[in-house]
Amino acid sequence: AQRVTQPEKLLSVFKGAPVELKCNYSYSGSPELFWYVQYSRQRLQLLLRHISRESIKGFTADLNKGETSFHLKKPFAQEEDSAMYYCALSGGYSGAGSYQLTFGKGTKLSVIP
Amino acid sequence: DGGITQSPKYLFRKEGQNVTLSCEQNLNHDAMYWYRQDPGQGLRLIYYSQIVNDFQKGDIAEGYSVSREKKESFPLTVTSAQKNPTAFYLCASSIGFNEKLFFGSGTQLSVL
């Protein structure tokens, strides 16, 4: 079974400090990984996905298959980064033909001015 | 603000009552999903549909039912068999499998 673990429920950092939101996954095949973000009073939205290898709002995430991790990083946190962040894994179709997209429990990032 | 619309924003259910949550999208997406969000639990998949007239159970389908008669609509019914229905329900759609999900603004369901 696939699993996504976000070990921190809450992460507080000062403005300008580096940020790392941890995500570890368990999956036997080749995963597709995503970070979704929910700002206060806004909809949940895609932040980035690993196959795009892009930087969005200064955030990057590298897939480390050896450590089964997909940590989200930003060198200098901004107050507007305060939000709820969810890591998600798509393992494709299971043997029964069912779709498998699994979300972690989320990490609330609070950037202190 | 088009895209994907959920209604109502708040819904109350009495004991033994079935209630239906609406989800409509104008993005021409083939795939649609229903998630349940509980505090500290992340998002859990209830049902999904990859094409009209077809849908599949997710991880927590018991006590729920769906239909997909039109591409743009994917209503979720919370039946009386769902013993713990109080939660925030999110609908999403994507252009296809493994693609970016677009989310609605959610429906908060509470039990009277």
Query: What confidence tens digit (pLDDT) does each residue in B55-100 have?
Result: 999 889 999 999 999 999 999 999 998 989 999 999 999 988 768 8
The answer to whether B48 and B56 have CB atoms below 8 angstroms apart is yes
**Residue A50 backbone dihedrals phi, psi, to 5 degrees:** -70, -30
Lowest-pLDDT range, A19-28, A44-53, B14-23?
A44-53
Chain B neighbors of A31, CB-CB under 8 A: none
Rounded to an integer, the average pLDDT of A63-80 is 95
Interface of A with B in 70-99 (CB under 8 A): 86, 90, 92-93, 98-99
Model confidence at A95: pLDDT above 80: no
Which pLDDT score is estimated for A94?
52
State whether A98 and B56 contact (CB < 8 Å). Answer: yes
Q: Which residue has the tokens 């990490």?
A: A107
Chain B neighbors of A93, CB-CB under 8 A: 97
pLDDT in tens, A22-44: 999 998 888 889 999 999 989 99
The CB density around residue A2, as the number of other CB atoms within 10 Å, is 17
Using the Cα atoms of residue A77, residue A78, residue A79 and residue A84 in order, give the sign of their dihedral: negative
Which pLDDT score is estimated for A50?
85
Which pLDDT score is estimated for A55?
81
State whether B103 and A101 contact (CB < 8 Å). Answer: no
Helix (H/G/I), strand (E/B), else coil: B87? strand
The answer to whether A70 and A25 have CB atoms below 8 angstroms apart is yes
> How far is residue B4's CA from residue B105's CA, in Å, rounded to a whole number?
8
Q: Mutate one of B1, B6, B32, B43 to test the A interface: name it (highest A CB count within 10 A).
A: B43
Model confidence at A96: pLDDT above 80: no
